[in-house]
Structure 1
Amino acid sequence: MTHTSPPDLATLADTMPDGVVRTAELLATGVPGPVIGRRCRPDGPWQRLLPGVVLMSSGEPSRRQRLRAALAYAGEGAAITGLDAAGLDHDIGVRADEAVHVLIPEARRSTTNGYVVVERTARMPALIDRDGLQYAPMPRAVVDAARRERDALRLRALLSGPVRCGACSVAQLCAELDAGNQRGSAAPRAALRAISDGVVSLTEGLARRVARGAAVPPPRWNVPLRDVSGCLLGVVDAWWDDVALAWEVGSHHFRLGLAEAPLCSAQPQLTSAGVLVVRTPPARLRTDPLGVRRDLVQAFHRAADRVRPPVHALPDRAR
């Protein structure tokens, strides 16, 4: 076997995606086993993230490196599911070291190890490749996460986020629940019933009560907004279409584009398009509902006194 020289080892990480590699691949390139062992010692330049999987650096692994290592450990055909696949890690608050949920075909024998939760399934979904990593489709990913979620607030946010941004429908989530294992499905079903009634978060429910007491017309809720070219500007909690007034209560962050797009504030895009946006911290809905109602009335009159901008809301029937 031809041994790889130390200078080659120093640059080898640059050829490995995210610096993550299987031990078998290192051996195949000619790196001797004892060299791998020495470099993965506590004081070495590499580290073992999982059995048979090496990170070719000694620093704290990023979430992406953990995801890639989980796929490398689970083997070919594995798919990341749960919060990471649904793109809801920012919404729910996923820690960098939190477990990675991976699906593998039922015939495979990989097992849960370290931070990786391996689930064997007879319903292996079609894999979706995003930036070199393989994920489960949105409905499956959301339901897989929902079955394991025990916190009611996180569960509601988990299920409502994709529905609100148009990544999947309540019907698709219900169908996925019906098709899969019924263990852990009772709480997600109850949460989906609430979402079906039109309230996608507990904060939004409170906002609706506050809005009903304000001297303004009833708004539409969870409305995607587009500019004259049809480009999605964002999804707002409440929308008064006649005057192009938006209200954000922090029940979710704005989300631009597809569900896998990074979370960010859409207010600059909406403001640039001429939309008047009222932002209300969720806590103020409870502590100062009268003040919030005054803000809404004042903002409504300001919006009505200007020329309405060319911003369009997607009709309910088209959503």
Structure 2
Amino acid sequence: MITGLAALALHGFASAPPFPSLDKIDVLVPKPRRLRSTGYARIVRASALPDASVVAGVPVAPVPRALADAVAELSDAGVVRRLLTEAVRAGHCEPASVVRELTQARLLGRPHVVDAVDSLLAEGRAIAEGRLYRMVREHGLPDPVWNVDLRLPGGPPLGGLDAYWPEQAVAVELDTRAPRQGHRQDAEDASWSEYARKRELLERLGITVVHITPKKLRDAMEQQAAVIRTAMMASEDRDPAAHVVVLPR
């Protein structure tokens, strides 16, 4: 399958060079295949091939993998940043899938790639928040208080939330975590444990926490709105939540 900049051009990236202008086309093949680069075809080997998309009649690597193969050949920080940002801004994929591919390709040791990833994650966070605002507006949910910290009166902080409905004691937290180079499984587990710890603490206080990923917001916004609405309706049958102090983040 085609990968790298050629694949991104076929996926419609405005920040990738037009397909006819490329002097090299990267072709992703399994490692055991005895093929060599020749002419304008450059072989890129993979231990396992991803599922290909068919674009213009040819098999093309999915955007996260194509990005990783493109970035591996790029040294221009501006170009890398534009490609990664467009991947998220144009809705091709979520930041976590891009960072995962860059990590597997061992590209996060390059300073210009790390800088681009930081911009990518910030972009992804902003887009996810925008979708959350749109979900509340378009699906008729009451307005929450946005981006707040909770704490017990005179006590320790309970953590930050992206949206909170005080009357119903329902909260939303966006999970925009992404794997980073050097994170082993135990680090990933620790990161998730922090989410779980906060959720357990809040729910012991009578606050329902709805955990939403950017992908769910993108692909199933109506379903996520229904989950939040159901949590609000269920609040009528629960004991009143503990009193907490709500502070802007």
TM-score of the pair, normalised by structure 2: 0.46
Which structure carries more relative contact order (alpha carbon 8 Å, separation 6+)? Answer: 2
Select the structure of larger CA radius of gyration: 1
Query: TM-score when scaled to structure 1?
Result: 0.37
